Amino acid sequence: MRRDLAVQYRLDPSPGRSSVNTSESATEFDLWQRGFVLSMLGNSPKSRKLGREAKGLEPTGDVYFSADVETDGPIPGPFSMLSFAIVYAGSFDGQHFERPERYDRTFYRELRPISDQFQEEALRVNGLDRPRLCREGENPENAMTDASLWVRGIAGAAKPVLVAYPLSFDWSWLYWYFIRFSNAGSPFGYSQCFDLKTALAVKGAIPIADASRSRLKASLKSARQHTHHALEDAIEQAEIFANVFQWSGVSERAF
């Protein structure tokens, strides 16, 4: 565990608040101790309980994070995640959904590849310079630890939930990388996730096959373009998520 990160990040009790310490009453050791409890004990039920006791807080709803990854192949391990972005996308307390005014709470990293295998087609899609990343990309251990602490810091006492469209691809990569590389584990546990494609199918009373991004209603779309840049696409996806979450859906189903 990097002590500087544990000192820098703390869990604010208000979802969506800054994770940087500004309290004059909190000592450096207090902040380090809280960060240590949360990041080193992982995400087991016991560790979550200890983490809440350390802060004197209980979970207060969900905090959503839109995530997007760009890779050089279809699966993690044999292939590599080259870049990823996580964007604060709103919160829900069981009654009210709070949409961000701006999508400016973001985390983006470009990573050093972890294997020699790659697919040329994947690189053509994302446009990333793999040889440059082999030289200059960030160490995955540092990047995933930083990301985990950043997510926990933004979520505060609430539950962090990963959002993607569709969820399966981005979740499989991020979960694998968090478990394999992060000293702080996965901030989303093993199941705290939200699939936009499924939500659209349920709210729209349509088959999953008809719930693709290309078939979105105009009122649910983002004004942003899908560029295959992880940060830009995560922000676009966060806007779609808020639109779908606040959409009342169809009035009735035809069974």
pLDDT score for 46: 46
pLDDT score for 36: 40
What's the CA gap between 37 and 51, in Å, rounded? 6
pLDDT score for 60: 78
Q: Report the Cα–Cα distance between both ends of the chain, in Å, rounded.
A: 54
Report residue 131 as tokens.
Answer: 């040889």
What's the CA gap between 29 and 37, in Å, rounded? 12
In this predicted model, what pLDDT tens digit does every residue of 197-252 receive, in sequence order? 999 999 999 999 999 998 999 999 999 999 999 999 999 999 999 999 999 998 65
Question: Which position has the token pair 């702080």?
Answer: 184
pTM: 0.77
Which is more confident, 46 or 80? Answer: 80
**pLDDT surpassing 50 at residue 103:** yes
What's the CA gap between 34 and 250, in Å, rounded? 45
In this predicted model, what pLDDT tens digit does every residue of 126-162 receive, in sequence order? 999 999 999 999 999 999 999 999 999 999 999 999 9
- Of the pLDDT bands very low, low, confident and very high (cuts 50, 70, 90), residue 59 is low
What's the CA gap between 175 and 24, in Å, rounded? 36
Domains of the chain listed by start with CATH number: 59-246 (3.30.420.10)
What's the CA gap between 4 and 33, in Å, rounded? 12
